[in-house]
């Protein structure tokens, strides 16, 4: 795998997905059936017509068919499945179709909202299409027109799945065979955003029309310790509030309660829908502006010199303008949130401070 991306000035090597692993293993096994010879490398076609050469391990013939495996390589962004062995057992039959199923270590779907039917293996539609098209290509090369049975298995899958969110998504017994491009891009923002949409689809399929959304672990802890309202309709959105609001609109959620630390929400009050620090930081400027608006012009310089928003709250409290400023922050944050959803979803915002609890 020789593809690279540049992130923050660093050259990082790309890897390949579990879907690509399963495709390569199945393609190699099909090739071995028709040639009768072991295969140590195979070329697979990815969704965007890119060809990738993958190393094959443990090629094996038996009376039932052929087994091959591929070692997952996540590149310079190792994830919970990096290094895992993904197997494909391939045999011919008279069904006239290419049939794909999951064996040991491939999760089974128990809830609606995922890219797989309930009761079926957690092999998403793109990997299924990749496997089918690549195996079909081999069949056509050798003039074979009847059926093929493919079973994907991951011996370590059940144990590795404990490090993933599969159980929260209703996938039991193993990992998922996934991937939309076939390539793992280091620190892929798209992968994180895609996973948020999947979580929201599952929440919606459980029958929830109301969503509780919060940025991360600190907010989660605050909710548990102070509000006690976290349930199956809860979503941790990291920095991607804007995308979550887009998905909420697309999935027809009726209400959203957003709970966030003042340091995150003051960014939203400035119109920032991705609150990662790499996208900007104008927290003190927003606070300074609103402090001046409510008679605190003498403390603007002190606010601009502050390192944390917790310290800013202390300053505002000392000057007795905390309520007015926080009210304005809440008002502006809700303005941008409601604008993002076109005022089509009922929204509520709770802003808290670690030192002072709920502020608004």
DSSP string, 8-31: TTEEEE-EE-HHHHHHHHHHHHHH
Q: What is the pTM of this model?
A: 0.70
29 contacts 67 by C-beta, under 8 angstroms: yes
End-to-end Cα separation, the chain, in angstroms: 51
Domains of the chain: 4-184 (3.30.2110.10), 192-358 (no CATH)
Residues 134 and 187: beta-carbon distance below 8 Å: no
pLDDT tens-digit profile of 312-325?
999 999 999 999 99
> What pLDDT score does 112 carry?
77
Which residue, among 187, 157, 26, 181, has the nearest Cα to 81 in the 3D structure? 157
Residue 1 in this model has a pLDDT that exceeds 60: no
The first and second tokens of residue 64, run together, are 């039932």
pLDDT range class, residue 6, cuts 50, 70, 90: low
pLDDT band at 4 (very low <50, low <70, confident <90, very high): low
pLDDT digits (tens, 9 = 90+) for 251-262: 999 999 999 999
75 touches 20 (CB < 8 A): no
Q: What is the pLDDT of residue 2?
A: 56
3-class SS letters over 120-176: CECECHHHHHHHHHHHHHHHHHCCCCCEEEEEEECCCHHHHHHHCCHHHHCEECCEC
pLDDT at 70 over 70: yes
Under 8 Å between Cβ of 70 and 27: no
C-alpha 59/C-alpha 262 separation (Å) is 56
């Amino acid at each position: 795998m020789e593809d690279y991306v540049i992130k923050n000035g660093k050259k990082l090597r790309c890897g390949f997905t579990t879907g690509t692993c399963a495709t390569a293993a199945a393609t190699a096994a099909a090739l071995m059936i028709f040639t009768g010879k072991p295969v140590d490398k195979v070329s697979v076609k990815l969704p965007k017509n890119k060809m990738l050469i993958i190393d094959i391990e443990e090629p094996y013939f038996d009376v039932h068919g052929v087994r091959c495996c591929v070692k997952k390589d996540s590149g310079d962004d190792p994830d919970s499945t990096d290094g895992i062995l993904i197997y494909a057992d391939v045999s011919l039959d008279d069904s006239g179709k290419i049939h794909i199923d999951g064996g040991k270590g491939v999760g089974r779907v128990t809830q609606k909202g995922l890219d797989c039917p309930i009761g079926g293996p957690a092999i998403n539609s793109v990997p299924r299409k990749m496997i089918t098209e690549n195996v079909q290509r081999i069949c056509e090369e050798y003039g074979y027109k009847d059926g093929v049975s493919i079973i994907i298995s991951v011996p370590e899958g059940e144990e590795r799945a404990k490090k993933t969110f599969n159980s929260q998504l209703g996938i039991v017994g193993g990992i998922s065979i996934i991937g939309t491009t076939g390539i793992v891009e280091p620190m892929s923002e798209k992968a994180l955003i895609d996973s948020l949409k999947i979580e929201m689809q599952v929440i919606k399929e459980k029958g929830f029309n109301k969503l509780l959304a919060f940025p991360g672990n600190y907010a989660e802890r605050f909710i548990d310790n102070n509000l006690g309202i976290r349930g199956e309709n809860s979503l941790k959105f990291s920095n991607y509030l804007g995308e979550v609001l887009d998905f909420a609109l697309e999935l027809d959620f009726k209400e959203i309660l957003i709970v966030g630390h003042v340091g995150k929400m003051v960014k939203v009050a400035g119109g920032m829908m991705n609150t990662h620090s790499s996208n900007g930081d104008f927290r003190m400027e927003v606070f300074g502006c609103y402090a001046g608006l409510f008679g605190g012009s003498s403390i603007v310089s002190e606010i601009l010199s502050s390192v944390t928003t917790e310290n800013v709250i202390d300053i505002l409290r000392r000057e007795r303008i905390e309520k007015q400023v926080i009210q304005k922050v809440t008002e502006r944050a809700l303005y941008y949130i409601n604008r993002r959803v076109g005022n089509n979803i009922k929204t509520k915002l709770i802003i808290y401070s670690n030192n002072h609890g709920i502020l608004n």
